[in-house]
Amino acid sequence: MKKLINKPEDFVRESLVGMAVAHPDLIKVHFDPNFVYRSDAPMQGKVAIISGGGSGHEPMHTSFVGMGMLDAACPGEVFTSPTPDQMLEAAKTVDGGAGVLYIVKNYSGDVMNFEMATELARTVGIRVFNILIDDDVAVKDSLYTQGRRGVGTTVLAEKICGAAAERGYDLQQVMDLCRRVNLNGRSMGLALTSCTVPAKGTPTFTLGDNEMEMGIGIHGEPGRERMAQKSADEMTEMLALSIIEDSTYSRTVREWDEDGGEWVDVELIDQPFQRSDRVLAFVNSMGGTPISELYIVYRKLAEICQKQGIQIVRNLVGPYITSLEMQGCSITLLKLDDEMIRLWDAPVKTPSLRWGI
């Protein structure tokens, strides 16, 4: 294992210390329990947005804390969900009286920990809801699995909902918007190499010299198929068509019912892409793939979308939701409406995403 680390057990803490030192104007870091929060929190009267997940996917989520995006982020150990005490303390710190939205990626650990945090926050009088992101089309059905994983759409939902909260949307409106972003976003990724979790010290999986994993998850979970590596254009086409041609998807998620004071199952259905859809195209590096290669992918993706009659009106290209040093990429397409475009364009000022200011 070759990494710029001192001791594996200090990986998360030392990285957070570095962030605090680098960006004191934007963020503060709380330790034990660990969370990153806006330096100007709590914002009175503004809905607070909190996300979190295992470390190792940076810049998501910690580097998306700041004006126009997240109010706080809770980092867990590498690839391990954070814990309810972190989420609860973060909520107490950033709640400005307008309530808190937890944006949760659909992994069993994250879901269970955020559900426990929601129950705890409710007992201390903080109005909290959680919305799941599950956009990974590599997972085909939700009946016999945990369901689709939360991947690239998470970054876009954090930006768009962050902008909405900044503009004064109330908690119900931010929640509805977050659900809408999730139902309009679809992603898929591939891996060319494995990543190595610092505490383990050896690669999570092994790929042959000419092999790739199509449909990889952001923790190195296997996807649809292991196959021989192909050209960039062929790989892009496989990802793009898997997303564009994916059919209607239905799942049951657990959401908090405020009136009943309990969890209720809600069925959510999203629809396939259609000709003349306007989309945001997001080409993401898994961490080890250089930006130059992402543009080779983007070039082919733009060509495919044009052929399919899908209009790319916004884009994001770069490493935003990574899997440590894994080589590979993911594509996310998010169907946009005018409101979502306005919110995407709105100012944002975080360590890793900044524009319009």
Partner 1 sequence: MVTKDQIVQWLQAFATLLEQNKDYLTELDSEIGDADHGINMDRGFKKVMSQLSSVADKDIGSILKTVSMTLISNVGGASGPLYGTLFLRAGTAVADKQELTDEDMAKLLQAGLDGVKERGKAQLGDKTMVDVLSPAVTNFHQALNEGKNAITALQQAVTAAEQGMKDTIPMLARKGRASYLGERSVGHQDPGATSSYLMLKSLLATLES
For residue 222, state whether it binds partner 1 (rule: CB under 8 A): yes
Nearer to partner 1, 85 or 293 (CB): 85
Q: Which residues contact 77 (CB under 8 A, 6 or more apart)?
A: 12, 54, 55, 199
159 Cβ neighbours under 8 A, 6+ residues apart: 64, 68, 69, 343, 344, 348, 353
303's CB contacts (< 8 A; 6+ apart) are none
Helices (H), the chain: 11-22, 84-94, 108-123, 153-166, 171-184, 232-244, 291-308, 338-345
Q: How far is the CB of 318 from partner 1 (least distance, A)?
A: 25
Find the binding residues for partner 1 in span 311-340 (CB under 8 A): none
The Cα 60–Cα 230 span in angstroms is: 29
Q: How far is CA 125 from the centre of its chain?
A: 27
Smallest distance, Å, CB 221 to partner 1? 5
> Helices in 169-325 by DSSP H: which ranges?
171-184, 232-244, 291-308
What residues numbered 107-126 form the site for partner 1, per CB under 8 A? Answer: 107-109, 112-113, 115-116
Task: Give 176 or 257: the residue with its C-beta nearer to partner 1.
Answer: 257
Which of residues 173 and 204 has its CB atom nearest to partner 1 in the complex?
Answer: 204
Euclidean distance between CA atoms 54 and 201, whole angstroms: 17
Per-residue binder mask for partner 1 (CB under 8 A), 7-36, x = binder: --------------------------x---
CB of 61 closer than 8 Å to CB of 68:
no
Cβ count within 10 A of residue 231: 10
- Give the interface size with partner 1 as a residue count (CB under 8 A): 36
Q: Is 85 in the site for partner 1 (CB under 8 A)?
A: yes
User: Cα 148–151–154 angle (5° rounding)?
Assistant: 115
**DSSP category for residue 333:** E
Residue 144 is a binding residue for partner 1 (CB under 8 A): yes
**What are φ and ψ of residue 318, in 5° steps?**
155, 180
Active-site residue list: 57, 219
Q: Considering only the stretches 74-82, 96-104, 125-133, 303-311, report the one whose residues sit in contact with partner 1 under the rule CB under 8 A.
A: 74-82
Is 71 among the residues that bind partner 1 (CB under 8 A)?
A: no
Q: Is residue 199 involved in binding partner 1 (CB under 8 A)?
A: yes
Of 115 and 211, CB closest to partner 1? 115
Between 242 and 350, whose beta carbon lies closer to partner 1?
242
CB of 83 to partner 1, least distance (A): 5
Does 80 bind partner 1 (CB under 8 A)? Our answer is: yes
> Would you say 112 or 291 has its CB closer to partner 1?
112
Return the residue of 180, 219, 300, 335 that touches partner 1, per CB under 8 A. Answer: 219
Q: Which residue has the tokens 């069993």?
A: 108
Chain residues that interact with partner 1, rule: CB under 8 A? 33, 54, 76-85, 107-109, 112-113, 115-116, 138-139, 144-146, 149, 197, 199-200, 204-205, 217, 219-223
